[in-house]
Structure 1
């Protein structure tokens, strides 16, 4: 690198040079770890002005570093420490020489050079003390001073390496305005190169600057991410930024304002796109986020942390880590009444819902007292909270063993689920609640409670007749089929309005399981004579049955249409059998009987036999 070098001076004749920014750092400590000294009302007398960055760099490269490298090889006292320092000094010399010529105009580089100059001068003074056989001040004091200087130099070298890796020193100053405290936030339509430069510059300032500079860098980064409609900026942050450095700001030792801004930035990355979310997880972000949620941070900070947790746990490949980080009790506590805002509760239970299918999480959720918390959320939470709590219970009951299912029922989950099913209006919430009820119906106590609730079956009837989600209708049909043996005739009679819907559902080709669910539910209702009459009176339903029996209709499994016709023929009376015969059912049954479809021959005999007897009776009487 080409720099303007002054005439080299002997190292012992170098005048002391104050820092470019004396309010930022004392001579021996690195810029980022030093508290500012008290402000002075006037500069000290006879204090020389600070050298320009190029002049200071020339002094370092031309005088200080060569002298120190020579001293590090020849010094006698504390030789092992000086040998280690020699490697640091050599790396520093190489890094400074590799800096582009335009680097001296960059404020971060100039600040770094200003901190290097007094640190190297102090180190040179230490080398003179080590050369003195008398070891002025004593060996232990000298060893301590040398360790402090070595640590300070290593930190400054780290910052210099970071600046060089970021690439921001190689950019044309006239194009990028590097003298600004923080670069101007690129517009949403800016090029990827402009956004990449801004992001690299922001992360460099975030790791090297003082508190004020870090806050400004974070605020600018948040502004960029907030306008990131297409998630392009989040992807650039994930690829070109240092997400690990951002996550370190979530530590409890960080300044609260830094932690708040960092939580907001991580939440943006976790929710923007899969690429940035994966980087946040791969860099170990879940643990710090859980600690922020568990801490006494500001409500807004906890909301941002739990939003990031919910987004990360939505990925199946990342959900397992919640148990590994001990996050289950933290999420449960965040769901408890009074532990946070409704937003925190809703996002925390959504995160639990995401991970409830994992075995370790299920065990921890039950053992840590999560079931009563879920029941409370069902009874008093918002609709989103109720939905997540219901889906969490569904996962616990579906993937858990009989003991887990029994504990859920014992915790009192069934009654609030029934209440939500009765009062909720959204189909999504109905779907979540019905899933949970369906999973708990295998417990005998829960099944008895459901069978004794006409209101529950009226709700199932309404869900099937209303239309909408075919999967929701299928679930309701499954519940009718499974619980019908324990239901009273009066309840079955009240479910007559859904009979035509069940016949229509049997025509649904995909998924194929819908045909089975509807057929089972319809057969369960056909045990009642009034329901059989309801079906046979509906011409559309009879036409649909005839269409399903047609052997040419290969999309429909003939098992349930034949079973329904047989149930009608066995218990519907002569009028029902005549109605089926007149509709042309016998022709299809004849072909199905020849194909040996189970039940078709018996249904044919029942319908055609009674029709023959009826015709003979009419002829005899006439």
Structure 2
């Protein structure tokens, strides 16, 4: 209760001394009823029969008790309507206690008759709650209701349930401000302790109210409701409960016409919910695909914090073939290709990821992206002069790999756009995460056509691959060695490589017998074996100061090393014979 409210109430009591006596008596009556219900709830926990029916009755008693507790600090002298309910409630409580006692003692006459009595009892409590709600709806609670304190860390489940029941009462019967405060309290506990999520779901009315509040014309209530639903939708076990309560349609409407914060939270909720393809159909059925496409592709993708999760929803929806076809018909591919040009990096990244999802295992869409200039834009985003982050560059590189590496014509187009120069730049200057991805792409390129291998050799990939042979990352070392061994199979690349002053020596140096078990050594042997097919290559190997590494490995019965030494020896012997014959 605020200070001003307390002073106002105190002034009224000072003006009317008799009011103190009235309030004291009436408050005592209300307090006694609350205590009776609390005691009865505890007593019913010992009942072993008709467990389901007693649980539903207890739920109603807890809800009624929360409503009465909320009224306890009202000015009852001015609001006697609440007190008019007390006699009827106490009568029901007494009846309930009698029935509970008979169930505990198993002294009832028959199961069917007792089930009927329990149904009547449930209906009476439900009527009391309805009457109390009607009183509150008329505005009696006003600003005087106290708020039940939030249970502390490690509180019992019963305390947590009592607190939730109190929140439920305020959500049902409070004015706008009380609803807002209750929603804020609800969001606070649901983020602190996931046990509350289960209690909310078990208390089905809370989920229904949250869904209902999504349609609220009051911005703060809508925002708080979307936040709660977004949190709950993150639990796989409860997604079905939300969808069953009809959450999809109002979330779509919030995304279409809500305020920014509500839109963002609605988009995040939809993203989590549509991880299940069945829910994707529900979004489509409520016009969500059109709403999402319009939202994501209007205004250069500047949809604030809601743009990223909205794109995430579309990626989830694209997993359903029929919905994906509808997106294509609605111009989604063309619209998202344009977003690759966006100056907003989040828009770029999400547009690229969306297109990648759309084109996955779909050749017509892949061709559409290429035809509409998508590949050229992706390569342009890799310009070294760009201020793009490493994440943006890596997203573009992954998309290029998935879109272009399955077709020779696409690879030729990629190289024509200057992709090799971009790749080589990041091979030399990229951050570790980017460099690993670039090496992977270089490795994959080296396994394609002869023309691509020649182009890589001409561009200067081989010296950079040699430099990476002792990188910290095992994956980078191995891919660099394998790519190098593949490139030197091409005679033009081999001649170019041999011309280098130190590359052969560097490979021999890395064949240290103490470290020969490293995974990339087999590819280094393969590269050396290719180089022995050239006179100059053999000569450089023989003249290297690190030839002893190779010889030691051959002595240790390393098959690849013995093969290379044998080839060097055979060719030396042939040279001697040629000299004798020529003499």
Question: Normalised by the size of structure 1, how large is the TM-score?
Answer: 0.61
Please say if residues 484 and 524 of structure 1, whose CA atoms lie closer than 8 Å, have aligned partners that are also in contact.
no
CA distance in 2, matches of 1:461, 1:525: 21
Find the aligned partners of 1:353 and 1:202 in 2 and give their Cα distance. Answer: 36
The match for 1:310 among 253, 264, 271 is 271
1:335 partnered with 2:293: no
8 Å contact kept, 2:488–2:494: no
- The alpha carbon displacement at 1:437 in A equals 0.4
Corresponding residue for 1:283?
A: 242
Q: State the alpha-carbon separation in 1 of the partners of residues 388 and 57 from structure 2.
A: 71
Q: Is the 8 A contact 2:454 2:492 kept in 1?
A: no
| Equivalence for 1:437 | 400
**Alpha carbons of structure 1 residues 384 and 107: separation in structure 2 relative to 1, 3 Å:** same
How many residues are treated as equivalent by the alignment? 477
The match for 1:157 is 126
Post-superposition shift, 1:286?
6.0
- Match of 1:325, SS? helix
Q: Distance in 2 between matches of 1:511 and 1:530?
A: 22
- CA offset at residue 414 of structure 1? 0.8
Q: Distance in 2 between matches of 1:543 and 1:392?
A: 46
**Structure 2 CA distance for aligned equivalents of residues 514 and 163 of structure 1:** 75
The superposition leaves residues 137-196 of structure 1 with CA deviations (integer Å, 9 ceiling, x where unpaired) of xxxxxxxxxxxxxxxx989827839999xxxxxxxxxxxxxx963626749x75545666
Question: Could you say which residue in structure 2 is the equivalent of 1:529?
Answer: 495
Aligned residue in 2 for 1:325:
283
For residues 26-73 of structure 1, the C-alpha deviation after alignment (integer angstroms, 9 at most, x for no partner) is xxxxxxxxxxxxxxxxxxxxxxx99958879999xxxxxxxxxxxxxx
1:376 offset after TM fit, Å?
2.0
8 Å CA contact retained: 1:250, 1:289 = no
For the pair 1:232 / 2:201, whether they are aligned, the reply is no
Matched residue, 2:147: 183
- Structure 2 CA distance for aligned equivalents of residues 459 and 162 of structure 1: 73
- Per the alignment, residue 350 of structure 2 pairs with 388
Q: How does 1:120-519 map to 2 (within 5 A)?
A: 157=126, 160=129, 181=145, 183=147, 186=150, 190-193=153-156, 197-222=162-187, 224=188, 231-240=191-200, 242=203, 244-252=207-215, 256-270=219-233, 275=235, 278-279=237-238, 282-284=241-243, 287-288=248-249, 290-312=251-273, 318=276, 321-326=279-284, 327-338=288-299, 341-353=303-315, 356-357=318-319, 359=321, 362-397=324-359, 399-422=360-383, 423-441=386-404, 442-454=406-418, 456-465=419-428, 466=430, 468-469=432-433, 471-482=436-447, 485-487=450-452, 492-496=457-461, 497-504=463-470, 508=474, 516=482, 519=485
CA distance in 2, matches of 1:354, 1:192: 39
Deviations 1:241-284 (CA, angstroms, capped at 9, x unpaired) = 645134323543665553233113333555xxx54x75356422
- The alpha-carbon deviation at position 477 of structure 1 amounts to 1.9
Residue 583 and residue 195 in structure 1: after superposition, are their counterparts in 2 closer, same or farther (change >3 A)? farther
Deviation at 1:577, TM superposition (A): 3.8
Give yes or no for contact 2:149–2:163 (8 Å, CA) kept in 1: yes
Structure 1 residues 391 and 340: CA distance shift in structure 2, 3 A: closer
CA distance in 2, matches of 1:435, 1:93: 58
| 1:385 shift after superposition | 2.6
Tell whether the 8 Å contact from 2:531 to 2:538 is kept in structure 1 after alignment. no
Return the alpha-carbon distance in structure 2 between the equivalents of residues 580 and 479 of structure 1: 31
> What 5-or-longer segments of structure 1 have no aligned partner?
1-48, 60-90, 122-152, 165-178
1:575 to 519, 525, 539: 539
Name the CA shift for 1:475/1:202 in 2 (closer, same or farther; >3 Å): same
Question: Quick one: distance in 2 between partners of 1:180 and 1:292?
Answer: 35
Say whether the 8 Å CA contact 2:223–2:262 is kept in structure 1: yes
RMSD between superposed Cα atoms in Å: 5.1
Show structure 2 runs of 5+ residues with no match. 1-21, 34-54, 89-121, 134-142
SS of corresponding position for 1:181: coil
Residue aligning to 2:11? none
Instruction: Return closer, same or farther for 1:103/1:462 CA change in 2, 3 Å cut-off.
Output: closer
Q: Which residue of 2 aligns with 1:132?
A: none
Shift of 1:461: 1.8
- Please give the alpha-carbon distance, in whole angstroms, between the structure 2 residues aligned to 1:162 and 1:486: 84
| C-alpha contact 1:251 1:259 (8 A) present in aligned 2 | yes
Q: Give the conservation status (yes or no) of the 8 Å contact 2:466–2:481.
A: no
